[in-house]
């Protein structure tokens, strides 16, 4: 009986959002995608589910996640839930407002791909 091994590749990207106010220079939070990865859900692997989930995270001034939401689903609940859960546990580099660490929203696209 042979076993097939699949290479999994997951890509995360933080998209820079524009300043939210005309007078306040705001820089969104960011994170190191190499050190913050979600585990592919077993059921999703078996069903060969793939897709990109777009999420929003509210990052506190200390870099922790205060809130999260799915903006656009990957098309698969298991993938969406796994991405939110994993990235919510990550430590972000806080965003800034007028040069000081501040609570900011940041958008993250997480791509689930089977190779």
Residue 92: which CATH number? 3.30.2420.10
Residue pair 63/93 in contact (Cβ under 8 Å)? The answer is: yes
Domain containing 55: what range? Answer: 27-112
Please check whether residue 54 lies inside any domain of the structure. yes
Burial code (b: 16+ CB inside 10 Å, e: under 16) for 61-81 equals bebebeebeeeeebebebbbe
DSSP bridge partners of 109: 13, 54
Tell me the pLDDT tens digit for each residue of 3-44.
444 444 445 554 444 434 444 588 999 988 888 889 999 999
- In angstroms, the CA 77 to CA 28 distance is 27
Tell me whether residue 21 is in a domain: no
Number of domains in the chain: 1
Residue 17 counted as domain residue: no
Let me know the angle formed at the C-alpha of 50 by 48 and 54, rounded to the nearest 5 degrees: 155
**pTM recorded for the entire structure:** 0.77
Could you read off the pLDDT of 36-67 as tens digits, one per residue?
889 999 999 999 999 999 999 999 999 999 99
Domain-embedded: residue 51: yes
Q: Which of 107, 47, 26, 113 is nearest to 71 (CA)?
A: 107
Q: Enumerate helices (H) and strands (E) in the chain, giving the number of each.
A: 2, 7
């Amino acid at each position: 009986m042979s076993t097939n091994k699949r290479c999994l590749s997951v890509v995360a990207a933080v998209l820079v959002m524009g300043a939210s106010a005309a007078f306040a220079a705001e820089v969104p939070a960011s994170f190191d995608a190499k050190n913050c990865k979600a585990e592919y859900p077993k059921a999703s692997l078996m069903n060969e589910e793939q897709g990109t989930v777009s999420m929003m995270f509210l990052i506190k001034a200390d870099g922790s996640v205060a809130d999260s939401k799915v903006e656009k689903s990957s098309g698969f609940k298991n993938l969406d839930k796994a991405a939110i859960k994993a990235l919510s546990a990550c430590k972000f580099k806080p965003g800034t407002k007028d040069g000081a660490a501040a609570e900011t929203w940041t958008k993250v696209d997480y791509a689930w791909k089977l190779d």
